[in-house]
Structure 1
Amino acid sequence: MMKSLSLQFKLNLIITLLLLGLLLTWAVSVVKNAREDVLAEVDSSTNLVIHLLDAEIAHYMTDFGWLNNSENGQTNLFRLDELTNIRHLKVDFFDMNGRLRESNRSTRLEHTGEEPPAWFVRLLDISSVLNEPKRKNIILNGRFIGELVITPDPSFELREIWDDTSGLLAIVGLFGLSVLLFVYWTVRATFKPVKQIIHGLNQIERGEYQSRLPGFEQIELSEISDKFNSMASTLEQSIRNNHRLTQQIIHLQEEERKKLARDLHDEIGQYLTAVHVDASALVAAKKLSVARESAQAIAQITRQMMVTIQDILARLRPRVLDELGLSLALAELIHHWHDRNRGIMVVNAISNHLSQHDESVSVTVYRILQECLTNISKHAAATRVTIEVTEDEQGLSLMIEDDGRGFDTSVQSRGYGLAGMQERVEGLMGSMKITSAPGQGTRIEVRFHTTEGFQEAVT
């Protein structure tokens, strides 16, 4: 149930429950203190009255001249009508016959203040006090003359406590409501950036990679905003590069097809035409010498056709990889390139015992070296090239370094070469690092996983 609720609602609920818990604890404390105050007030008043009456009794036992007569001629022994200010107690004197002779409540005292509600009285739980009057037998000179009954009357104290507590409850309730409203507003304002972040993520999901988040005041959310904007910029640039590379790949495919079509038409077509001519001459020949010349011409043209077809196939697929393996194929590639670039010294350090890697890895390593050597001969103006191909337990490593003019790696390249190599390496879960600067040469490092690691990464 709680998992389906929003974090904002959970925070508001938790804070509300905490505040209600604090208010409930405070209310319990107030009720407890109020009950203790009522009991203490009633108990102290009871003890005071008992002491006063004991003093009166002691006085009457020594001097009966102080006995007062009431207006109706009856003896007023304790003068209880003078104790009307003791509001918390009702003091009654009953004679030996059980008749009420004196009381401090001969006249009704008017209560001031609001009548406390029944639930407040129940919370105080002072019913035990109300139901336990104190009784004292009055004996003068060994003669029982009556009984004093002191009954607690906390109604006045309850009204005073209720007047104080009700006002405090109203203040605390208003304060609690204000705190809840402030917390709700604060949490809502705090989570407003979260909605903006979710909106930005939804835009990214819909392919709107230009979406950006504003700067937030909160430090944590500000860091999220910066990371999100950086991620969106990187993703937008990556998508743009992918689109550009896709267009370049399509263009290169079309160019390669055109070149193949041109080679097939210009070279193979010419050879086939020549074969057709010589074959026709062979058919029409009436002399053996003429037929032999035509047959020799056909044989020579056929050999040239085979060389041409092998060159075309080599461009489409390096056959030496299948025949010689990766080590010898790379060495042959470097040897033929050096034959065409005698002015560049080549330092070759290729391991002679490279494992049989995944076919796509081997082809990629071959193509990367081929592309790098082509770029060096066209653009680097280098005098020295170092090539290292090593293998360890972690995988296969390729390093090509030249001392040419170099380039600025921060400038976006318009060509397909480096970007295409990067895409091919990353597509095989490898890594590629390019280090270069104008006038300081170029170093390219490529790393592939082992066959097991590659399969694991792909999985």
Structure 2
Amino acid sequence: MMKSFSLQFKLNLTITLLLLGLLFTWAISVIKNAREDVLAEVESTTNLVIHLLDAQIAHYMTDFGWLDRSEKGEINIFKLEELMNIRHLKVDFLDPTGHLRESNRTTRLEHDGEDPPAWFVKLLDISSVLNEPKRKNIILNGRFIGELVITPDPSFELREIWEDTSGLLAIVGFFGLSVLFFVYLAVRTTFKPVKQIIHGLNQIEHGEYQSRLPSFEQIELREISDKFNKMASTLEQSIRNNHRLTQQIIHLQEEERKKLARDLHDEIGQYLTAVHIDASAMVAAKKLTVARESATAIAQITRQMMFTIQDLLARLRPRVLDELGLSLALAELIHHWHDRNRNIMVVNDISNHLMQPDESVAVTVYRIVQECLTNISKHAAASRVTIEVTDTDQGLYLLVEDDGRGFDTAVPSRGYGLAGMQERVEGLMGTMNITSTPGQGTRIEVRFHKTDKFQDIAS
């Protein structure tokens, strides 16, 4: 159930319950102390009165001058009317027949203030004190003359405690409400940026990648804001690059199609036209020698057509990968490139015992080396190139390094080459790291993790 509530509501509820728990604990402690105070006050007053009356009884046993009569003609043994100021006790003296002879309180004492509520008295739980009066038989000279009944009356003490407690309860209640109010404001203010973060995430979800968060005052939220803005900026740049790459890919596809169409038209079409002419000449020939010459021409043209088609297919897909494998295909590629670039020294460190990778990985490695060599011959002006392809415990490792001009990696490239290589590597769950500094050459490292498709072709 709590899972459906917001974090702000849960935090407010937790703080409220914690504060109520503290107030409840405090209230129990106050009531417990109040009960102990009432009982202690009543007990101490009762013991004091009993000691006073015992002292009077001891005095009466030696001096009978106390047998004087009151103004009403009655004999006052204990003169209890003089104890009428004792608020917590009602002291009665009953004769042997049970009739009231003396009392310190003939009428209920009046007091200022309001009586404590019934629930407060009930919480104090002092009913046992009220219901258990103390009795003491009075025996003088071996004769039972009556009984003293001391009944606790904690009403005055309860009233005083209630007045103090009610005031304290009001103060604590006001303080608790104030704390809850300020906590609510603090939590609301603290969680206000969360709505801005959610709004920013919603904008990202709907493709508004230019969305940014302000710098918040709270340190933690400020860090979230910085990370969000960096993420949004990176995502915006990535989307922009993807759009640019898509346009470039479409453009390159169209250019490749135009080139293939032109090659097919200019070369294959020309060969077919020649075949058609020679075939027509064979059909119209009346001499065997003329037909034989046309057939020979057709054989030569078809042989040239085969070479042209093979060259077109090689451009579409490196056939040497299927025939020779990755190691020999790369070696042949580097060899032909070095023949065209004799002024550049090539350090070839390609393992002859490569694990046969997945077909898409092999083609990607071949194309990356091909693209790197093309870029080096066009732009690098390098004197030395190092190419390394090896197997590691993690997978296939490729390194292409030159000592040429280099470039600034922070400046976005306008071409498709490096970005296209990066996309192909990441599409195969590999990693590509490009390190370059103007004037200090370029280093490109590519790693592909091993998969179950790798097969050992060392044999």
Q: TM-score category by the smaller chain?
A: over 0.9
- Deviation of 1:408 (Å): 0.8
Change (3 A) 1:225 1:454: farther
CA distance in 1, matches of 2:39, 2:426: 84
Pairwise CA distance, 1:371: 0.7
Give the match for residue 221 of structure 2.
221
SS in 2 for 1:451: coil
Give the drift of 1:320.
0.8
Number of aligned residues: 455
Alpha-carbon contact 2:92-2:149 (below 8 Å) kept? yes
- Cα deviation per residue 1:215-255 (whole Å; 9 max; x = unaligned)? 22222222111111111111111111111101100000000
What's the counterpart of residue 309 of structure 1? 309
Verify the 8 A CA contact 1:429 1:454 in the aligned structure 2: no
In structure 2, the residue matched to 1:130 is 130
- Change in Cα spacing, 1:271 to 1:180, as seen in structure 2 (3 Å) is same
Deviations 1:306-343 (A, max 9, x none): 21111111100111111111111111111111122222
Instruction: Give the aligned partner of residue 399 of structure 1.
Output: 399
Partner residue, 1:433: 433
In structure 1, the partner of 2:371 is: 371
Aligned-partner Cα distance in 2 for 1:139–1:454: 116
Residue 289 (structure 1) shift:
4.0
1:164-194: per-residue Cα shift (whole Å, max 9, x none)? 1111111111111222222222222222222
What's the TM-score once normalised by structure 2's chain length?
A: 0.95
Q: Which amino acid aligns with 2:414?
A: R
Tell me if structure 2 keeps the 8 A contact 1:436–1:443.
Answer: yes
Deviation at 1:454, TM superposition (A): 8.2
Evaluate the alpha carbon distance shift between residue 453 and residue 189 of structure 1 in structure 2; reply closer, same or farther with a 3 A threshold. Answer: farther
Matches within 5 A, 1:16-415: 16-415=16-415
Query: The residue matched to 1:136 in structure 2 has which SS?
Result: strand
Aligned to 1:426, the other structure's residue is in SS state helix
Q: For the Cα contact (< 8 Å) 1:428–1:454, is it kept in 2?
A: no
* Partner SS state of residue 211, structure 2: coil
Using the TM superposition, name which of 245-254 and 430-439 deviates more: 430-439
Q: Distance in 2 between matches of 1:209 and 1:453?
A: 38
Q: Per-residue CA shift, 1:69-95, capped at 9, x if unaligned?
A: 222111222211111110100011122
Equivalent pair of 1:432/1:445 in contact (CA under 8 Å): yes
Is there any run of 5+ residues in structure 1 with no aligned partner, and where? none
Comparing 31-40 with 216-225, greater Cα deviation is found at 216-225
Q: How much does 1:293 deviate?
A: 3.3
One-letter code aligned to 2:395: G
2: CA distance, partners of 1:425 / 1:107: 104
Q: Does structure 1 retain, via aligned residues, the 8 Å contact 2:69–2:75? A: yes
Normalised TM-score (structure 1): 0.95
Distance in structure 1 (CA, Å) of the matches to 2:176 and 2:317: 79
Which amino acid counterpart does residue 369 of structure 1 have in structure 2?
V
Question: Which amino acid in structure 2 is aligned with residue 37 of structure 1?
Answer: D
Letter in 1 for 2:23: L
SS, match of residue 393 in structure 1:
coil
Structure 1, 1-10 or 254-263: larger mean CA deviation: 1-10
Alignment partners' CA distance in 1, 2:433 and 2:454: 19
Q: Deviation string for 1:347-405 (max 9, x for gaps)?
A: 21211222221110111011111111111111111122111111133211111111111
1:340–1:14 CA distance, 2 compared to 1 (3 A): same
Question: How far apart are 1:52 and its partner, in Å?
Answer: 1.6
Q: Is the 8 A contact 2:355 2:454 kept in 1?
A: no
Aligned-pair CA distance for 1:16: 1.6
Structure 2, unpaired ranges of 5+: none
* Maintained 8 Å contact 2:357/2:454: no
Shift of 1:66: 4.1
Distance 2:453 2:294 in 1: 59
Which 10-residue stretch deviates more, 333-342 or 140-149?
140-149
Alpha-carbon displacement from aligned partner over 1:414-439 (angstroms, at most 9, x marks no partner): 10000000000111111111111111
CA distance in 1, matches of 2:225, 2:408: 30
- Decide which moves more: 187-196 or 25-34: 187-196
Output the CA distance in 2 between the equivalents of 1:170 and 1:453. Answer: 78
